[in-house]
């Protein structure tokens, strides 16, 4: 399993390829996707997930949701779970543009599958993490 990491003072955010691909497909959801990238690269690494606010809710069973988008217009969701017991690793498993009122069950199922893959990769030491934190600093200084 391959993940990209952004390391902050409070926690490390790990991104699956699906999340990177989905967020890179800007389409008509540029605003909420840019806000989501901001949350995942700035706020969460520095201060942890903003649990209890509109931007972050629990879906139960250890699966959480980051939410971005205004009341009217496109909404972007990222489903995630903690990758360690100390809750210092946030693994962003799935990203999607929300089109229905409820979070699609197949996305929750896919997140659970990613969690199983992640745990297996941890146990078998086959987890490969590429650090992207330096890219963030370079871009921030342009």
Partner 1 sequence: MSLREKFARLLDVAQDSVAYWRDIAITDFTRDLHARIQHKGLSHADLAIRLGTSRPYVTRLLSGGNYTLETMVKLAMALDGVIRVHLADRDAVTTHWRDVFVNPSQLSALGRMDSEALRRSSLETINTEPLKAQLSSLVTTALYGDQRGATEKLTSIGALDRPLQELRDTPKSREALAV
Rule CB under 8 A: which residues touch partner 1? 2-4, 9, 15, 17, 20-21, 23-24, 26, 30-35, 37-39, 41-43, 46-47, 50, 52-55, 68, 70, 130, 132, 135-137, 139-142
The minimum distance between CB 129 and partner 1, in angstroms, equals 9
The minimum distance between CB 59 and partner 1, in angstroms, equals 17
Distance, in Å, from the CA atom of 90 to the CA atom of 100, rounded to the nearest integer, reads: 25
Closest CA to 62 of 99, 116, 8, 26: 116
Distance, in Å, from the CA atom of 83 to the CA atom of 100, rounded to the nearest integer, reads: 28
- The percent helix, strand, coil of the chain (3-state, each to 5) is 35, 30, 30
Question: Which is closer to partner 1, CB of 68 or CB of 115?
Answer: 68
The minimum distance between CB 98 and partner 1, in angstroms, equals 16
The minimum distance between CB 83 and partner 1, in angstroms, equals 16
Question: Which is closer to partner 1, CB of 125 or CB of 134?
Answer: 134
Question: Which is closer to partner 1, CB of 44 or CB of 108?
Answer: 44
Specify whether the CB–CB gap between 88 and 12 falls below 8 A: yes
Angle subtended at Cα 50 by Cα 22 and Cα 66, rounded to the nearest 5 degrees: 20
């Amino acid at each position: 399993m391959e993940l990209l990491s952004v390391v902050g003072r409070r926690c490390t955010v790990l991104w699956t390829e699906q999340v990177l691909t989905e967020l890179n497909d800007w389409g008509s959801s540029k605003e909420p996707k840019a806000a989501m990238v901001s949350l995942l690269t700035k706020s969460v690494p520095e201060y942890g997930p903003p649990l209890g606010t509109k931007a972050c809710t629990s879906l139960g069973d250890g699966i959480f949701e980051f939410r971005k988008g205004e009341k009217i217009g496109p909404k972007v969701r990222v489903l995630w779970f903690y990758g360690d017991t100390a809750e210092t690793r946030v693994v962003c498993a799935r990203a999607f543009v929300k089109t229905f009122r409820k979070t699609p069950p197949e996305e929750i199922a896919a997140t659970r599958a990613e969690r199983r893959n992640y745990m297996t990769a941890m146990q078998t030491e086959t987890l490969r993490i590429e650090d992207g934190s330096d890219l963030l600093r370079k871009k921030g200084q342009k």
